[in-house]
Amino acid sequence: MPDVNPEFVKYAELHIPGRDPIKLPILKGTMGPEVIDIRALGKEGYFTFDPGFVSTASCSSRITFIDGAKGILLYRGYPIDQLATKANYLKTCYLLFKGELPTPAQYEEFEYKVKHHTLIHEQINSLFQAFRRDSHPMALMCGIAGALSAFYHDNLDIYDPEHRENTMIRLIAKMPTLAAMAYKYSIGQPFMYPRNDLDFAANFLHMMFATPAEDYKVNPVIAKAMDRIFILHADHEQNASTSSVRLAGSSGANPYACIAAGIASLWGPAHGGANEACLRMLEQIGTCDRIPEFVARAKDKNDPFRLSGFGHRVYKTYDPRAVVMRETCHEVLNELHIKDHPILDVATELEKIALSDEYFIERHLYPNVDFYSGIILNAIGIPTSMFTVIFAIARTIGWISHWNEMQEMPESRIGRPRQIYVGKTLRDIKASPARRRSAKSSAATKI
């Protein structure tokens, strides 16, 4: 039985003509809708059909709760806006992985450990040289995150909770270092080593923008915005990349390989690639007078174009992360004295038009978190191709927390979805005419 309310015992009955009803338990979590447990169906000779897992829970989880209709997002019970304003990214990491916010002493120890694992093995530097300079940084991240499994053999026992926690610390500490290296490699600048006197977000900005040639002062408003971007993207329950990590991990694969699977899944424009796609779209629109043309294309069923940064699989109201991100977006733009910025003008006008357009209202298509995060990252000076990489840094704690939880859940099994087969029915390979002729002539020879 999954980790759900055991006192809640109700059954659904499935009536299939010509058969006795099949009783299916209805499960109830601590929050959220009731869930029909269909695991017994397979033994009865039936599967369910649910492409995209729209109506299927693949696991039970204690980490993140989303109510898409009400626009609620909780990490371990805490609302996302409270974490964004009252915690920081490392506290959020501790919370997601361990289940509780750290005490001051626990935080001090955790921060110390993370800061003392930010360096990566020097041999990894040479892996970068194998990539073309113009490679997309997500290509480097997929490859090099997976390659970490070749360097940290000392903590790869997935059944040992201490090994799993050490791996979590290594991953969250090293991902910003790898990400900044991917950027430096693409622009031909030397890699910058991490600085342990800086906090998590400030250190990342230092590794991105400092050079050995001169001093670089991290702007605290920008560092705070960066930290918020990390918090808001830290987890989002069973999304495509987290489910990819869980599916890869369900076979017992090592955690670095599983994280590489998550990075690959995140790359797509319907998921983590949306902030990059959104900014490219704003650039393509260029000026406010062209917005109606693009809105018309987004509504046209014969045109595959969609407004990036709008809509969400789960949220059918305002994305609660977008509310916080919008506020941070204004803070950053004020700090940087950016007022008349063409991309910002297009974004503001597009938001206004889409929020008052019947098509978007009817379909509950609101700006999502990536609509605003793209604008902030652009203002900070982060190149568009790095946007999804930043999402990957943030989401690493979500991925590894789910991977860790999966190892502890008794219900976990290797993931193996079923299918409806719609291909050819059984048939035999027909002998080719040439083979038939030679078969005939050899029969004739025998006679």
Non-local CB neighbours of 353 within 8 Å, separated by 6+ positions? 291, 292, 295
Among the listed residues 363, 413, 437, 440, the single contact to ligand CMC using CB under 6 A? 363
The residue type of 218 is V
Strand partners, 73: 66
Only segment of 66-74, 100-108, 208-216, 309-317 that touches ligand CMC (CB under 6 A): 309-317
In angstroms, the Cα distances linking 47 to 50, 238, 414 are 10, 21, 17
Tell me how far apart the alpha carbons of residues 30 and 4 are, in angstroms, rounded to a whole number.
Answer: 7
Which range, of 30-38, 242-250, 361-369, 410-418, touches ligand CMC by CB under 6 A?
361-369
- 271 tagged catalytic: no
| Residue number with CB closer to ligand CMC (218 or 376) | 376
| Annotated catalytic residue, options 117, 312, 319, 402 | 312
Nearer to ligand CMC, 113 or 299 (CB): 299
CB-based contact 232:110 (threshold 8 Å): no
Integer distance in angstroms from the first to the last C-alpha of the chain? 70
Least separation in angstroms between residue 4's CB and ligand CMC is 25
Stretch that binds ligand CMC, among 20-28, 266-274, 344-352, 380-388 (CB under 6 A): 266-274
Q: Is 307 in the site for ligand CMC (CB under 6 A)?
A: yes
Nearer to ligand CMC, 109 or 303 (CB): 303
Q: Candidates 82-90, 139-147, 306-314, 427-435 — which segment interacts with ligand CMC by CB under 6 A?
A: 306-314
> Is residue 236 close enough to count as binding ligand CMC by CB under 6 A?
yes
Residue number with the smallest Cβ distance to ligand CMC: 311
**Nearest approach, Cβ of 272 to ligand CMC (angstroms)?**
6
- Answer yes or no: 402 catalytic: no
Query: Which one among 186, 239, 243, 265 touches ligand CMC, defined by CB under 6 A?
Result: 239
The residue from 66, 138, 274, 329 that contacts ligand CMC (CB under 6 A) is 274
Interacting residue with ligand CMC among 298, 376, 389, 406 (CB under 6 A): 298
CA 322 – CA 287 distance, rounded (Å): 23
- Nearest approach, Cβ of 369 to ligand CMC (angstroms)? 6
CA-angle at 172, arms to 166 and 173, nearest 5°: 85
Among 146, 272, 320, 374, binds ligand CMC (CB under 6 A): 272
> What's the rounded Cα separation, in Å, for the pair 423 and 104?
60
Which tokens belong to 95? 């919370």
262 binds ligand CMC (CB under 6 A): no
* β-bridge pairing 78-79 and 10-14: unpaired
Q: Which stretch binds ligand CMC (CB under 6 A): 76-84, 247-255, 302-310, 410-418?
A: 302-310
Site for ligand CMC in 397-416 (CB under 6 A): none
Q: Look at the block and give the residue holding tokens 């704690």.
A: 397
> Cβ-count burial of 228 within 10 angstroms (0-12 exposed, 13-18 middle, 19+ buried)?
buried
Return all residues near 247 (Cβ < 8 A) that are at least 6 apart: 261, 415
The β-bridge relationship of strands 64-67 and 72-75 is antiparallel
Q: How far is the CB of 308 from ligand CMC (least distance, A)?
A: 5
Structure tokens given for 415: 């993931």
Task: Count CA within 13 A, CB hemisphere, residue 366.
Answer: 17
Figure out which of the listed residues 308, 328, 373, 396 binds ligand CMC, where binding follows CB under 6 A: 308
Between CA 191 and CA 307 the distance in angstroms is 36
Tell me the CB-side half-sphere exposure of residue 157, using CA atoms within 13 A: 6
Tokens 């009783």, residue?
Answer: 23
In the complex, the smallest distance separating the C-beta of residue 259 from ligand CMC, rounded to whole angstroms, is: 17
Length of the chain: 447
Rounded Cα gap, residues 250 and 253, in angstroms: 7
Binding segment (CB under 6 A) for ligand CMC, from list 158-166, 345-353, 368-376, 408-416: 368-376
- 279 touches ligand CMC (CB under 6 A): no
Q: In terms of CB distance, is 146 or 272 closer to ligand CMC?
A: 272
3 vs 357, beta carbon nearer ligand CMC: 357
Spatial distance between the Cα atoms of 286 and 288, rounded to a whole number of angstroms:
7
Toward ligand CMC, which CB reaches closer, 148 or 295? 295
| Catalytic center residues | 312, 370
Q: Which residues bind ligand CMC (CB under 6 A)?
A: 236, 239, 270-272, 274, 298, 306-313, 363, 365, 368-370
